Amino acid sequence: MEQPVLGDKNTFPADKVVFSHIGKSKPLWISVFDSLHAHHPDILTEWRYYNDGKSWLLKATRKKKTIFWLSVIPGSFRMTFYLNDSAQEAVMNSALSDELKEQFRSGKKYGKIRGLTVLFRNKKDVEYAGILIRIKLSVK
């Protein structure tokens, strides 16, 4: 996986900064957040700098539940969802790509959860993010 690019603790990742890094992926970013705000206005997002990874990450939450983590990489961005075993049926029966389903099926477990990462390359990835947000909100 490519390393995140927002490594300067003193440079807050405002849109202008993010867009300078993601380049042609800007329309995907706008689609993701337009959809998120339209369908899930109660999901809050917050940028934080994490010393352990020496990078800014965007954390999306609903109440106390973390929905996803987002990192910016050169030319794009990625969203990671941590799902527990109870999400397996929903993931496997969803319209996610076979690649994402396999990533979940064979992913490294951290206790009872596994990470599933969407790397944004095209419009289909925006759709996959929406599916994963709905899955994350539907499982306990």
pLDDT in tens, the chain (140 residues): 677 799 999 999 999 999 999 999 999 999 999 999 999 999 999 999 999 999 999 999 999 999 999 999 999 999 999 999 999 999 999 999 999 999 999 999 989 899 999 999 999 999 999 999 999 999 97
What's the one-letter identity of residue 104?
F
Contacts of 16 (CB under 8 A, 6+ apart): none
Domains of the chain: 15-138 (3.90.1150)
Distance (Å, whole) CA 103 – CA 107: 5
